[in-house]
Structure 1
Amino acid sequence: MNTSENLTGIYNFLQLSDSIATAGQPTADQFALLKQAGYEVVINLALPTSTNAIPNEAEIVAAQAMDYISIPVVWENPTLADAERFFQAMQTHTNRKVFVHCAMNMRVSAFMYLYRRIYEQIDEATAKQDLNKIWTPNSTWQQFIDQVLQQHQ
Structure 2
Amino acid sequence: MKNILNYIKINELISTSGQPKIEEFDLIKDEGFEVVINLALCNASNAIENEDKVVTNLGMSYFHIPVDFENPKASDLKLFINVMQSLGANKVWVHCAKNYRVSAFMYVYHKYVLKTPFENIDLSIFNIWNPDKTWQELMKITLEDLYKA
- Using structure 2 for the length normalisation, give the TM-score: 0.91
Cα gap change, 1:134/1:97 in structure 2, threshold over 3 Å: closer, same or farther?
farther
Residue matched to 1:3:
none
Change in Cα spacing, 1:15 to 1:128, as seen in structure 2 (3 Å) is: closer
Contact between 1:117 and 1:127, CA under 8 Å: does it hold in 2?
no
Count, aligned residues: 147
Cα RMSD after superposing both structures: 1.8
Shift of 1:129: 3.0
Correspondence for 2:103 among 100, 103, 109 = 109
Q: Is the 8 A contact 2:75 2:146 kept in 1?
A: no
User: Does 2:145 match 1:151?
Assistant: yes
SS at match of 1:48: coil
Aligned to 2:130: 136
Q: Confirm whether residue 61 of structure 1 aligns to residue 55 of structure 2.
A: yes
Q: Which residue in 2 is equivalent to 1:91?
A: 85
- Find the counterpart in structure 1 of residue 121 from structure 2: 127
Which residue does the alignment assign to 1:46? 40
**Take 1:77 and 1:122, find their aligned partners in 2: how far apart are those partners?**
27
Identity of aligned residues (%): 40
Name the structure where helix makes up a greater proportion of residues.
1
CA separation in 1, counterparts of 2:46 and 2:84? 24
Q: Which 5+ residue runs of structure 1 have no aligned equivalent?
A: 1-6
* Deviating 4+ runs (over 6 angstroms): none
- d(CA) in 1 for partners of 2:130 and 2:121? 12
